[in-house]
Structure 1
Amino acid sequence: MASSARYWVASLPVHTSKQAVWTNLQSSITSQAFDTPLYRFSAPDLRVGTLDSLLALSDDLVKSNTFIEGVTQKIRRQIDELERVTGTDGSPPTVDGVPVDSYLTRFVWDEAKYPTMSPLREIVDDIHLQVARIEDDMKIRAAEYNNVRSQLNAIYRKQSGSLAVRDVSNLVKPDDIITSEHLVTLIAVIPTYSQKDWLASYETLTNFVVPRSSKKLHEDNEYALYTVTLFGRVADNFKTSAREKGFQIRDFENSTEAQEDRKNEVEKLKHEQDAMMGSLLQWCYASYGEVFSSWMHFCAVRIFTESIMRYGLPPSFLAVVASPPLKSEKKVRSVLESFCDDANSSFWKSDDEVVIAGLGGESEVYPYVSFTINVV
């Protein structure tokens, strides 16, 4: 099962130089929360546009992030499920050959894929559209795989279930069956507790039943499988009388060719399932990396946009990634807040916890930009 890691992406206002803020932040974290890894997050200078466009984009960022994060987690869960079914424990997914946590902490913007001079809305829409295509592709691939798997499971249930539902053809041997111009052999499924009743009554359920012709072929915890031989012209009457007494007459094919066809069908489905499973797993590994990369580019747009909205123009902020243990979270929050003494950030400061639903994607709002990334 995949382990998870929790990261904060945050930005702090810069009034001197980014390097000076970074050096001071490193020193503060080391002295107060030494167990917290800290990294710079490479958010590029993007095209700001108008204030109205930033406001409109900011409203959509949280919803888009929820969608992209959800697709990432869906693919990861599918990987876990496939590995559970196969009994394998593959290597964790990567992004361009790099572990996902390393990709996050060493993120570099892909200028060729997302030109920084493109409008922010265009970049966000491109990312959203790409992830949506991958999600649609995954739904189709997973549905095809699950369809084959369901067919196989249905066959296995018939082969391994109780005698009331399973295929009994493989329990009946050719010499158990008598077939002639006038005689037929039927297969009866009898509740275990009713076997004495069956043996005492089957000869009288209708006329023309061959005496002492019933033979037990198989028994499980609930039912026993018997044969009975009678004249073919009274078979329907016998079935009706048997049902009235709680005996089930099972249909089956006494054909070696039919049994061979069923065996071949199972082998074909197994081969198809294995091939589709391998293909789907390989696709999931590749697509997870692609979606995760798109998500990190989206986070770069988000940290840039929310930092402009928080600190104003021109863009002057330091973006960082931190991964504090639970016991150090309050200390790290306190350190980050200590870097926010300017007028643009002081509004958000409070001795008490500030809670403003829906702003910045977090229920807790801080004097600096901050949101959480859960990596699985």
Structure 2
Amino acid sequence: MASRYWVVSLPVQNSPTSLWNRLQEQISKHSFDTPLYRFNIPNLRVGTLDSLLALSDELLKSNSFVEGVSHKIRRQIEDLERVSGVESSSLTVDGVPVDSYLTRFVWDEAKYPTMSPLREIVRVAEYNNVRSQLNAINRKQSGSLAVRDLSSLVKPEDIITSEHLVTLLAIVPKYSQKDWLANYETLTNYVVPRSSKLLYEDNEYALYTVTLFGRVADNFRTAAREKGFQIRDFEYSSEAQESRKQELDRLVHDQDNLRSSLLQWCYTSYGEVFSSWMHFCAVRVFAESILRYGLPPSFLACVLAPSAKGEKKVRSILEEFCDSTHSTFWKSEEEVGPMAGLGGDADAHPYVSFTINLI
């Protein structure tokens, strides 16, 4: 399927049917590789010109929001499928593939123009919150010794705590281990000789213990820092260790449950959001066509999927269906500025046009 479509409307001079037939003929003759579809829009309530101008502004903002939600849910589904290792399923809207829903669009009278609220989007935030907590724990468990949780590396017998003695944990750059072993006993008074023991090494650092009198611990920290050694605050607690393990198990369990329910919700919600997005597009085409071509509403809306190399030719074909007055006005650089936002495209055209990116 194509991932990029144009939604355009052309002014009708005689009848929509004859214009459609002529457009099909020209596209078939000069750009046969460009799929072309009717975009069926009901006869909506027009309102005043002022209300249409205000609506055009609001639709552009709301369309951007709904489009963003659509893409966010799609990316969320892809992320969940990748993490879960499940086979990717094709996204659907009302049971049909998303590209088919766009190219065979039919206005849903039962649901719109009243928009269904996107309430359960909060589930995404809940899942991401649990996942971020897990990522933080994983970073602490697998990061470098300078930042990771040390509780899994230190055993009760490694720590001496008495009325006068304490054991500190030193993070030593691997290239400075000889310097540490040669100097730690003299960084301050009252360091227990030969008390430093290597507990663990990673690619950058080594974890050493050192035992000394508690009353000189602050002096030792300061002297160690000046030498480029980091003293990590650590207090061994079997209760805290067990609590951390239980918290990790709970988060893993919560993430698995949330991932499963979120993936199911995303599949359902993607269809609802995509449907909302296409109805937004229909209202945009209607409102902007009236602002462009005037009243009463008389325009032909269609969807095209030109190839990159065929875009220029298709633009030329579409322009031929607009009278010279429209073409001159919309090509005028001075005149384009304030009106360019109506179509939603950076380039101005003598017809309503904006782009839909499905991915």
**TM-score interval, smaller chain:** 0.7 to 0.9
Q: Which moved more, 1:204-213 or 1:364-373?
A: 204-213
Q: Which moved more, 1:62-71 or 1:299-308?
A: 62-71
Q: Give the residue type in structure 1 aligned to 2:3.
A: A
Q: Give the residue type in structure 2 aligned to 1:28.
A: Q
Cα distance in structure 1, aligned partners of 2:193 and 2:59: 81
Pairing 1:34-113 to 2, within 5 Å after superposition: 34-86=32-84, 90-113=88-111
Q: Give the residue type in structure 2 aligned to 1:12.
A: L
Q: Give the residue type in structure 2 aligned to 1:348.
A: H
Cα distance in structure 1, aligned partners of 2:354 and 2:226: 68
- Percent identical among aligned pairs is 70
Shift of 1:4: 6.6
Match of 2:230 among 248, 260, 266: 248
Shift of 1:36: 0.7
Cα distance in structure 2, aligned partners of 1:255 and 1:52: 70
Pairing 1:298-313 to 2, within 5 Å after superposition: 298-313=280-295
Deviations 1:252-301 (A, max 9, x none): 34333332221221121222233333333333333322222112112222
Does the aligned pair in 2 maintain the 1:6–1:323 contact within 8 Å? yes
**Equivalence for 1:189:** 171
Q: Which moved more, 1:274-283 or 1:212-221?
A: 274-283
Cα distance in structure 1, aligned partners of 2:298 and 2:103: 21
Q: Give the residue type in structure 2 aligned to 1:164.
A: A
Counterpart of 1:159 in 2: which secondary structure?
helix
Cα distance in structure 1, aligned partners of 2:278 and 2:38: 14
Match of 2:134 among 122, 134, 152: 152
Pairing 1:173-212 to 2, within 5 Å after superposition: 173-179=155-161, 183-206=165-188, 208-212=190-194
Shift of 1:208: 4.9
**Equivalence for 2:210:** 228
**Equivalence for 2:313:** 331
Match of 1:348 among 326, 330, 345: 326
Q: Which runs of 5+ in 1 are unaligned?
A: 115-122
Cα distance in structure 2, aligned partners of 1:205 and 1:363: 67
Shift of 1:34: 0.7
Q: What TM-score comes out, normalization by structure 1 length?
A: 0.80
Shift of 1:347: 1.2
Shift of 1:106: 0.7
CA RMSD of aligned residues (A): 3.2
Match of 1:215 among 197, 204, 217: 197
Does the aligned pair in 1 maintain the 2:330–2:350 contact within 8 Å? no
Does the aligned pair in 1 maintain the 2:201–2:207 contact within 8 Å? yes
Counterpart of 2:128 in 1: which secondary structure?
helix
Deviations 1:156-185 (A, max 9, x none): 222222222222222223343445666544
Q: Which moved more, 1:214-223 or 1:357-366?
A: 357-366
Cα distance in structure 2, aligned partners of 1:31 and 1:58: 35
Cα distance in structure 2, aligned partners of 1:177 and 1:366: 76
Q: Tell me whether 1:285 sits opposite 2:263 in the alignment.
A: no
Q: Which runs of 5+ in 2 are unaligned?
A: none
**Equivalence for 2:28:** 30
Taking a change above 3 Å as real, the CA distance of residues 246 and 70 of structure 1, as seen in their structure-2 partners, is closer
Q: Tell me whether 1:168 sits opposite 2:150 in the alignment.
A: yes
Q: Give the residue type in structure 2 aligned to 1:375.
A: L
Cα distance in structure 2, aligned partners of 1:204 and 1:234: 12
Counterpart of 2:152 in 1: which secondary structure?
helix
Cα distance in structure 2, aligned partners of 1:201 and 1:64: 66
Does the aligned pair in 2 maintain the 1:348–1:365 contact within 8 Å? no
Cα distance in structure 1, aligned partners of 2:201 and 2:288: 70
Counterpart of 1:170 in 2: which secondary structure?
coil
Shift of 1:324: 1.1
Deviations 1:121-140 (A, max 9, x none): xx4xx44xx5xx53x753x4
Cα distance in structure 1, aligned partners of 2:286 and 2:224: 77
Cα distance in structure 2, aligned partners of 1:251 and 1:98: 58
Count of equivalent residues: 354
Counterpart of 1:331 in 2: which secondary structure?
helix
**Equivalence for 1:371:** 354
Counterpart of 2:326 in 1: which secondary structure?
coil
